[in-house]
Amino acid sequence: MTMAGIFYMILFMILNFSLLLYTVLLREFTDPLKDRIERCILSSNTIEKLATCIKETLKLIDFSLIDVGIYRNTGGFYTRLNSYFNVDTFSENIINPDFTKRIPRLPEVIYNTEIERLGRYYVTSLKSQDWALFIMSKRYLDLSSLKSSLKLALQKARTLNTLLDKEESLKRFSVAFTSKGFFEKLAFEEKSFSMFLGNAIKLVSRVPYVEVKGNGYTFRIGSSPLEPCEEFFVRGTGIGIKICGKKLSFKEKRKIGKFLDAISFVAMEEGILNNYLQLLIETVLSFEDYNEYYKNHSSMVKEVSLIVASDLRLPTKQLKTLEYAAILHDIGLVDVVSKLIFEGRRLTEQEKLKIRYHTIIGASIVAPINKIYPSISEIILQHHEFCDGSGYPEGLVCEEILLESRVLALAEVFVGLVSDRPYRKAKTFDEAFSILTDEYSNKFSPEVIEAFSNNYEKIVQVVKSMKGK
């Protein structure tokens, strides 16, 4: 063998050995890195900590990494969920207010998910369903070996976000749920109301014995009835009260009478309830008149709902209940969240979260009306539930949602699509029809879509006539 041949053979062996050594070292380095990143992902209990853990771990393989953002698809674009600023940025900013202006960051909203460059910086992305991870760096990063680990991060983000939703809902609206239960059990189950009333009267009058008589039942509270006894009645109800064991003065009788007059409003006879219903309707209409984007919204939703429900042959009583539920479906927005709707801008994720609670608030507000229109509060509670389980507040699926709520959900989505909003122009009627019957078809039950389709031309005429008012 010539000297040249020996030289090339040695060079070939060196290259092979170098390649083998590189492969071994890469495996030895990458596997611990995967283990490390997966451990920190699993231990993260907030989306903020999750993003920080990814950033700090990936910096071990490339110091050019600048920013990591966890994003969620919020309808055509991705919204960042972890903070725009990290702790280091915040502390430095206190010393030097211009510091953050010089540091590039991933934006709060990304419209193009295929983005690869932001100015002179590289962007690496990984998507999983409606979630995405974007990584900004000074040079191109090949993260293919960590793809499975980073997908695990997106799964964890989805889980953390779900837990946050449930926690926020529980913290903010446990009172609303409690008041809803109070009204339904106390005011509109006569026996429960009578038990409450007997104990309240015993406390107010400080007597040893109280007897409450209703329709076919009697509740006795205290020791055996002793003379003298006095009888009272709750106005607007068939409930009678007997108080024994103490001679009541005129002042005490008057006090009990005033108490019973006040408590009679909790029992609410039908006339008072109808007045309450009209008050709520006027409140909603005034609320909508305040802003051009929502003018006649509830009235249009009502008309569409009734057309669809009539095609489904709902009984007269259910149609009437649906009529009022449709008018009052957004009564829960007539509160502090109303200012969010009227600011004329796209809402942040946190603000959208607040808006979602309007179904719970609304159901609580209309609960007293269940006495004359059964299920009206439940219809309102469920009017943002969808058949595919993507709705709120409970994420119900088709068979768990009231038919009236399914009708109302479709009607509101349709009216919303064909109406201008601060952040977009209205869709045409045909565009909205296509979205409902094609793109969103899995969100609504087939019979509701069929009834809507059968009456589409009539619905368009009605909504057109009301949009101009």
Measured CA to CA, the distance from residue 347 to residue 303 in angstroms comes to 28
Measured CA to CA, the distance from residue 283 to residue 297 in angstroms comes to 13
Q: Is 1.10.3210.10 the CATH classification of the domain at 271-467?
A: yes
Query: Are the folds of 29-160 and 271-467 the same?
Result: no
Indicate the domain borders of the chain. Answer: 29-160, 188-267, 271-467
What is residue 237's three-state secondary structure? coil
What is residue 187's three-state secondary structure? helix
Measured CA to CA, the distance from residue 204 to residue 181 in angstroms comes to 24
For the entire predicted model, the pTM comes to 0.49
Omega cis (within 30) before 393: yes
Measured CA to CA, the distance from residue 56 to residue 37 in angstroms comes to 9
Q: What angle do CA 320, 324, 330 make, to 5 degrees?
A: 155
- Going by C-alpha positions, the residue among 434, 293, 283 that lies closest to residue 366 is 283
- Going by C-alpha positions, the residue among 245, 214, 251 that lies closest to residue 230 is 245
Could you tell me the CA-to-CA distances from 345 to 321, 340, 422, 424, 467 in Å, in that order? 34, 9, 6, 10, 22
**Strand-pair partners of 221:** 210
DSSP state, residue 249: P
**Strand-pair partners of 176:** none
Would you put residue 424 in left (φ > 0), alpha (ψ -120 to 50) or beta? beta
Helices (H) and strands (E) in the chain, counts: 18, 10
Q: Quickly name the fold that domain 29-160 has.
A: Beta-Lactamase (3.30.450)
Strand order in the sheet with 209-213: 218-222, 209-213, 240-244, 229-233
Asked if residues 329 and 408 have their Cβ atoms less than 8 Å apart, the reply is yes
Per-residue pLDDT of the chain (469 residues; tens, 9 = 90+): 555 454 445 444 544 444 444 444 444 444 577 777 777 777 777 888 888 888 888 888 777 888 898 998 877 788 888 764 433 333 333 333 443 445 678 888 888 778 888 888 889 888 887 888 999 988 888 888 888 888 888 888 877 776 665 545 444 443 334 334 444 443 445 565 666 677 767 766 778 888 888 777 788 877 667 788 888 887 766 788 888 888 888 888 887 887 777 666 555 556 667 777 887 888 788 777 766 777 889 999 999 999 999 999 999 999 999 999 999 998 887 654 455 555 555 666 666 666 777 888 788 778 878 888 989 999 999 999 999 998 888 889 999 999 999 999 999 999 999 988 776 788 999 999 999 998 888 999 999 999 999 999 999 999 999 886 5
Measured CA to CA, the distance from residue 410 to residue 400 in angstroms comes to 16
Residues 6+ apart with CB under 8 A from 315: none
pLDDT of residue 164: 64
Omega cis (within 30) before 368: no
Would you put residue 222 in left (φ > 0), alpha (ψ -120 to 50) or beta? left
